[in-house]
Structure 1
Amino acid sequence: MTDSPPPQVWPTLRADDARALIRFLVEAFGFEEAVVYGEGDRVDHAQLSWPLGGGIMLGSAHDRGPDDKWSLRPGTFGAYVVTDDVDALHKRATQAGAEIIQPPQDTDYGSREFAARDPEGNLWSFGTYRGSLPAK
């Protein structure tokens, strides 16, 4: 069987301006908008899919109330995302205004990668390293 299972781990973040962050992540990094629920500027729930599999979920940080059990501060998220073409993605991110904090480089473990910060302050690392198989 060559099909991988659907994602079972969803990194999640909150944003001060979730709608603007969604637009940025789609334009700069190539995420694909799957669903967005909410009214006006508020985003109650959004799912952005990554073309190679998986994705993230996000929502607005404000107006959640004192009983919010998932109170994540905007700008404190970080993720590593696998991509096949680091240099093309770096160029796309740069053209879209992403703050590049690490230009493309080759690592000693065989990955090519770069790192950027989104307008909310979250850190994103994109690279070719797909992880290793678990030891048996």
Structure 2
Amino acid sequence: MTAVPPPPQVWPTLRARDARALIAFLVEAFGFEATAVHADGDLVQHAQLSWPLGGGIMLGSARDEDPDDPWPLHPGSFGAYVVTDDPDALFARAVAHGAEVTSPLHDTDYGSRDFAVRDPEGNRWSFGTYRGEPRG
């Protein structure tokens, strides 16, 4: 019997000027799944977008500048590397939905097939087949 690894427990977070539009883009262009969206009208308090291979991200609407904000993230300042089994198909999907290409599809010297894009909010996303080095 093969042991099942525990689910990922790292959940990067970001804020967006138009969280609902960004959620729609991330679902349509990249294939995230909108697992939960808690909102008051246009203000998204919390959203969880799950990645099909495990893990995901959390996001919400940007807030007005507030020195007491415990999580003062600025829209467009996020970056992530996301593992995918089919970077070629994902690249075509992302481009078809308007993602701005910052690095086209390419093979790396460490055996990954990668590309990088920017979403409509300016966040940077890198996708590839590299799953990290084994833990030892």
TM-score, with structure 1 as normaliser: 0.95
Partner of 2:36: 35
Aligned-CA RMSD value: 1.2
Partner of 2:19: 18
Unpaired stretches in structure 1, ≥5 consecutive residues: none
Unpaired stretches in structure 2, ≥5 consecutive residues: none
Please tell me whether residue 104 in structure 1 is matched to residue 101 in structure 2. no
Q: How far off its partner does 1:88 sit?
A: 0.2
SS in 2 for 1:43: strand
Quick one: distance in 2 between partners of 1:80 and 1:3? Answer: 23
Segment of structure 1 superposing worse, 65-74 or 8-17: 65-74
Partner of 1:126: 127
Aligned residues: 135
Q: How far off its partner does 1:17 sit?
A: 0.5
User: What code does the residue aligned with 1:34 have?
Assistant: T
Quick one: distance in 2 between partners of 1:42 and 1:5? Answer: 33
Quick one: distance in 2 between partners of 1:46 and 1:31? Answer: 12
Quick one: distance in 2 between partners of 1:3 and 1:21? Answer: 33
Partner of 1:69: 70
- Output one character per residue of 1:7-52: Cα deviation in whole Å (capped at 9) or x when no partner: 2110000111100000000000000000000111100000000000
SS in 2 for 1:119: coil
Quick one: distance in 1 between partners of 2:49 and 2:40? Answer: 18
Quick one: distance in 1 between partners of 2:45 and 2:122? Answer: 20
Partner of 2:47: 46
SS in 2 for 1:110: coil
Identical-pair percentage = 71
TM-score, with structure 2 as normaliser: 0.95
- Output one character per residue of 1:35-90: Cα deviation in whole Å (capped at 9) or x when no partner: 00011110000000000000000000125744211010000000000000000000
Partner of 2:84: 83
Segment of structure 1 superposing worse, 58-67 or 85-94: 58-67
